[in-house]
Amino acid sequence: MCLKGSESEYQRNRSSHARGVEKAAEILFGLCGMSAILAVGSITLYMIVNGIPAVLQVGWKEILFSTVWMPTAKEPSFGIFSVILTSIAGTFLAVLIGVPLAVLTAVFLSEVAPAHLASIVRPAVELLAGIPSVIYGVLGMMVLNPLMYRLEQWIFADSETHQFTGGANLLSAAIVLAVMILPTVITISEAAIRAVPPELMASSLALGASFVQTIFRVTLPAAKSGILTAVVLGIGRAMGEAMAISLVSGNSVNLPLPFMSVRFLTTAIVSEMGYAGGLHRQVLFTIGLVLFGFIMVINLVLHRILKGEGRP
Amino acid sequence: MAGDKGQRRMTQCKMMTEKLNVYYGKRHALKDVDIRIRSHAVTALIGPSGCGKSTFLKTLNRMNDLVGNVRIEGQVYLDGEDIYSTRMDVTRLRKRVGMVFQQPNPFPMTIYDNIAYGPRIHGIKGKEQLDGIVERSLRQAAIWEEVREGLYKSALGLSGGQKQRLCIARALAVEPEVLLMDEPTSALDPVSTLKVEELMTAFKQKYTIVIVTHNMQQAARISDDTVFFLEGELVESDTTARLFSHPADRRTRAYINGRFG
Ligand SMILES: Nc1ncnc2c1ncn2[C@@H]1O[C@H](COP(=O)(O)OP(=O)(O)OP(=O)(O)O)[C@@H](O)[C@H]1O
Ligand SMILES: [Mg+2]
């Protein structure tokens, strides 16, 4: 009797103690979760509060759709249209170059490469993701730009009007971005391709389809949502990159033509925030807000894709 | 005279193996298998799990080529032609020897595109011609009435039994001569199973069928010939009627009476 009583006493104590720990842990987790929301919320708020004043002062049409960027002139003009277009064009080109390469690499890794070769390529891809972006920039500057300059000299040999960029142009930036999104797109695409049931491919082969036909008509379509996710993440990465491309893109505000020196949303902020003041500085915040908007849209799209994936 | 006789034997025998040995690395999965598969008949392969039924089936359309460390010795003939000879075009072979898998696995596309997949691969482009093939194949697989209204819906929305009949239709669409089926009904409910069994009996007119099954009643019901495997060896091969009523080997008797496996 006595023993039993003390035992249940012990249990009661223990369980009330355990309940306390549970409660505390719950609150801690809650707080951590809240802090993420708080961070996103406050950043959003900060971006809006700082980005809007310039819009109100200059006018949104003028900022978003004028191509004249002369922030320090006597009669300054703050059109960022070229910069917005550059970010879109650069990202688009990077995806155009990088995604096919990445998806084919993913096919190679998941379906073609013998195990020992895959085990060499895969870490190499992962290493690519770990290289700091400034290194990409420096390499681009030293290796890619001179090559690009040669190409430029050859193409525009007879041109009277072309402004030579020394190879620091949109194309160089797009190529560097393409390489930088490779690891993201490869890794996620490979996972998506591996998730395709092998019987699906076997069925295609059993109908007399070749390996290549099977890959392009069955495997890749079946891995579509995963590959799309990879592409969207790649777009996000390319859109937000600043350091590497500021070194290879020539950094002057122009419409995004392949052999023009250009400035991106990100590099515009990087290169001018240091010295800008007054309205100029506020417009840079507006640029930040525009970039933020792009990233938000990209994440929304991603969210949609991932939600769609859950359904059959 | 002798040539005439040989000719007749060949027309009756659609596929044939001679001293067929298959190894997965060191594992000896099939041992000296000699089989004749009669044309326009249903041949059932039975035997306990791991005895090599699927392995044997996959040697008939060279799906084993896809496995990494597989080694195949001996001969497999289709209409007297060695399918492992270097002159054999594997994609043509697989068009002639179709396969239906255990798990129904339609491609993630519309019902129509699933059926048209094979014909398109083999170069048929005309819309009318494809429409015809799609309808004919779906009718043959007894699923036309159920899907005719929704041909352009995703095949993934069908029930398991419907999916399997769709996969059969998909295999028929390339007009194979031989149809290999690896436990095609083991993932299906009794009603769907019955439907697929009825199909197989009807298919004999046009095709030669080889089916792997774990279900003795099924083998007895639908097959003309039965082959019993044990640990990679062919123990006994005979007409189904004889094999089930008078098995020559005691191991066969034990197996069909459910005493092992
Ligand atoms: N890809 C492979 N690699 C290595 N061994 C394999 C492979 N496929 C099959 N085997 C082995 O070969 C033997 C025969 O396998 P198989 O799949 O042909 O058996 P089965 O008769 O179809 O069995 P079940 O009735 O379970 O489907 C088994 O011992 C199996 O472990
Ligand atoms: Mg099997």
Give me the interface pTM, i.e. the ipTM. 0.90
In the predicted structure, residue A6 carries a pLDDT above the cut 60: no
Phi, psi of A149, rounded to the nearest 5 degrees: -65, -40
Q: Which of A157-166, A285-294, B151-160, B241-250 has the lowest mean pLDDT?
A: A157-166
**Alpha-carbon dihedral angle through residues B242, B245, B248, B252, given to the nearest 10 degrees:** 110
Confidence of residue A312 (pLDDT cuts 50, 70, 90): very low
Ligand 1 atom, smallest distance to B51 CA: 21
Classify each residue of A125-152 as buried b or exposed e, where b means 16 or more C-beta atoms within 10 Å of its C-beta.
Answer: beebeeeebeebbebbbeebbeebbebb
Are B122 and A205 inside 8 Å of each other by CB? no
Select from B89, B107, B178 the residue whose CB has the most chain A CBs within 10 Å, as the one to mutate to test that interface: B107
**pLDDT tens string A51-76:** 999 999 999 999 999 999 999 888 89
Is B54 near ligand 1, meaning CB less than 6 Å away?
Answer: yes
**Distance (Å, whole) CA B249 – CA B253:** 7
* B contacts of A218 (beta carbons < 8 Å): 107
The per-residue pLDDT for A162 is 86
The per-residue pLDDT for A104 is 96
What integer is the mean pLDDT of A119-147? 94
Higher-confidence position of A4 and B186: B186
Q: % helix / strand / coil in chain B, to the nearest 5? A: 45, 25, 30
* B contacts of A200 (beta carbons < 8 Å): 105, 107
The per-residue pLDDT for B259 is 64
**Distance (Å, whole) CA B5 – CA B181:** 31
Asked if B159 reaches chain A (Cβ–Cβ under 8 Å), the answer is no
The per-residue pLDDT for A9 is 62
The per-residue pLDDT for B231 is 93
B98 SS3 class? strand
* Distance from the Cα of residue A279 to its chain's centroid: 29
| Model confidence, pTM | 0.84
Ligand 1 atom, smallest distance to B56 CA: 18
The per-residue pLDDT for B3 is 43
Higher-confidence position of B68 and A123: A123
CA angle B122–B123–B125, rounded 5-degree value: 130
**Distance (Å, whole) CA B66 – CA B72:** 12
Separation of B230 CA from ligand 1 center, angstroms? 12
The per-residue pLDDT for A310 is 53
* A contacts of B93 (beta carbons < 8 Å): 208
Domains of chain A: 60-309 (1.10.3720.10)
Structure tokens at A135: 């290194």
Is B228 near ligand 1, meaning CB less than 6 Å away?
Answer: no
Are A207 and B92 inside 8 Å of each other by CB? no
**pLDDT tens string B11-59:** 488 999 999 999 999 999 999 999 999 999 999 999 999 999 999 999 9
* Run of H or E residues at A157: none
Confidence of residue A8 (pLDDT cuts 50, 70, 90): low
The per-residue pLDDT for A4 is 52
**Averaged pLDDT score across all residues of chain A:** 91
Sign of CA dihedral B120, B125, B127, B129: negative
Ligand 1 site-directed mutation target among B28, B33, B53, B260, most atoms within 8 Å of CB: B53
The per-residue pLDDT for B5 is 44
Q: Which of A32-36, A230-234, B5-9, B256-260 has the lowest mean pLDDT?
A: B5-9
**β-strand pairing of B208-212 with B178-182:** parallel
Q: Which of A169-173, A307-311, B160-164 has the lowest mean pLDDT?
A: A307-311
Ligand 1 atom, smallest distance to B68 CA: 1
Nearest-by-Cβ selection for B94 from A199, A205, A217: A205
What integer is the mean pLDDT of A81-98? 96
The per-residue pLDDT for B7 is 44
* B contacts of A217 (beta carbons < 8 Å): 117, 121
**Distance (Å, whole) CA A1 – CA B50:** 60
Ligand 1 atom, smallest distance to B30 CA: 14
B178 SS3 class? strand
What integer is the mean pLDDT of A204-220? 95
The per-residue pLDDT for B2 is 42
Nearest-by-Cβ selection for B92 from A197, A204, A208: A208
Separation of A95 CA from ligand 2 center, angstroms? 44
Q: What is the DSSP string of B193-250?
A: HHHHHHHHHHHTTT-EEEEE-S-HHHHHHH-SEEEEEETTEEEEEEEHHHHHHS-SSH
The per-residue pLDDT for A208 is 95
The per-residue pLDDT for B11 is 47
Taking 50 as the pLDDT cut, the residues of chain B under it are 1-11, 261
Confidence of residue A309 (pLDDT cuts 50, 70, 90): low
* A contacts of B108 (beta carbons < 8 Å): 221-222
What integer is the mean pLDDT of A116-141? 93
* Run of H or E residues at B184: none
Are B61 and A206 inside 8 Å of each other by CB? yes
Are B108 and A221 inside 8 Å of each other by CB? yes
Mark which residues 97-116 of B lie under 8 Å from A by CB: 98-99, 101, 103, 105, 107-109
The per-residue pLDDT for A11 is 63
Region class of B15: left (phi > 0), else alpha (psi between -120 and 50), else beta: beta
